[in-house]
Structure 1
């Protein structure tokens, strides 16, 4: 089955975070470019280069279940062939006895390819200064 065609970087980003939520590595990788130069850097982690390394890193992270991520504070820089999205991710890390969250700043870079917009870089790092008070962000940005 061919990969989905994303008509905008926002469509690709929505599919990316939805695949994280469901823990579906195959759908997640459909968002990524097949270029050998793609890069994924998880918070405090090494740099993963190329589709095989990126896939393996996400399979390890999503092995137990999907990630519950709320995205907000979208900043966009865009031209006709490239879009850079910088977001604040609120990642649920625990559910019991009460919800706890980690805050991550992420930069997602999308390139327009022959088959639509594709993710070529995801770089995430801890968001210093965001406290976990157990409450979700009050104004999440919906990516669709």
Structure 2
């Protein structure tokens, strides 16, 4: 059983993005349900089903450290047992010779389980049309 209980879906989502920023795969997986049917799809990537494949996908993404990522809610739908968050992720990525932000639309689905709210689906895809308004920076990371 996970050691952290998330009392709301917003608590779980905040912890998810903090874990991505820290690059801590254990912390990322702490947010996920232990159910064998969890699903994670990264931008332009395959579908990962189950805790082991989901963990392996995050290990590959975070192998060089955390992501410089922010997430803004576009829409939230919830009821007492399920919450669906559609978010716009802004990720600092390296693009030679300058740095830029990549934008990703993600859907995060949380279910209320016996041990609190847990992530059961993260499905992300490129957010076409957002890249023109991005500021430039001096740090490097890659798209998840």
Q: TM-score, normalised by structure 1?
A: 0.88
Secondary structure of 1:18's counterpart equals helix
Unpaired stretches in structure 2, ≥5 consecutive residues = 137-144
Change (3 A) 1:48 1:5: same
Counterpart contact for 1:100–1:132, Cα < 8 Å? no
- Counterpart for residue 79 of structure 1: 79
Unpaired stretches in structure 1, ≥5 consecutive residues = 137-144
Secondary structure of 1:99's counterpart equals strand
Superposed CA deviations along residues 26-56 of structure 1, whole A, max 9, x for unmatched, are: 0110000000000000000000000000000
Change (3 A) 1:52 1:4: same
Equivalent positions of 1:95-114 (< 5 A) are 98-114=98-114
Q: CA deviation at 1:110?
A: 0.1
Equivalent positions of 1:1-144 (< 5 A) are 2-94=2-94, 98-135=98-135
Structure 1 segments of 4 or more deviating over 6 A?
A: none
Q: CA deviation at 1:70?
A: 1.3
Change (3 A) 1:41 1:2: closer
Q: CA deviation at 1:96?
A: 7.6
Counterparts of 2:132 and 2:66, CA distance in 1: 20
Counterpart contact for 1:104–1:124, Cα < 8 Å? yes
Q: CA deviation at 1:98?
A: 4.4
Secondary structure of 2:70's counterpart equals strand
Counterparts of 1:129 and 1:31, CA distance in 2: 30
Counterpart contact for 2:38–2:120, Cα < 8 Å? yes
Q: CA deviation at 1:134?
A: 4.3
Change (3 A) 1:44 1:95: closer
Superposed CA deviations along residues 58-105 of structure 1, whole A, max 9, x for unmatched, are: 000000010111112431000100000000001111288643111100
Secondary structure of 1:70's counterpart equals strand
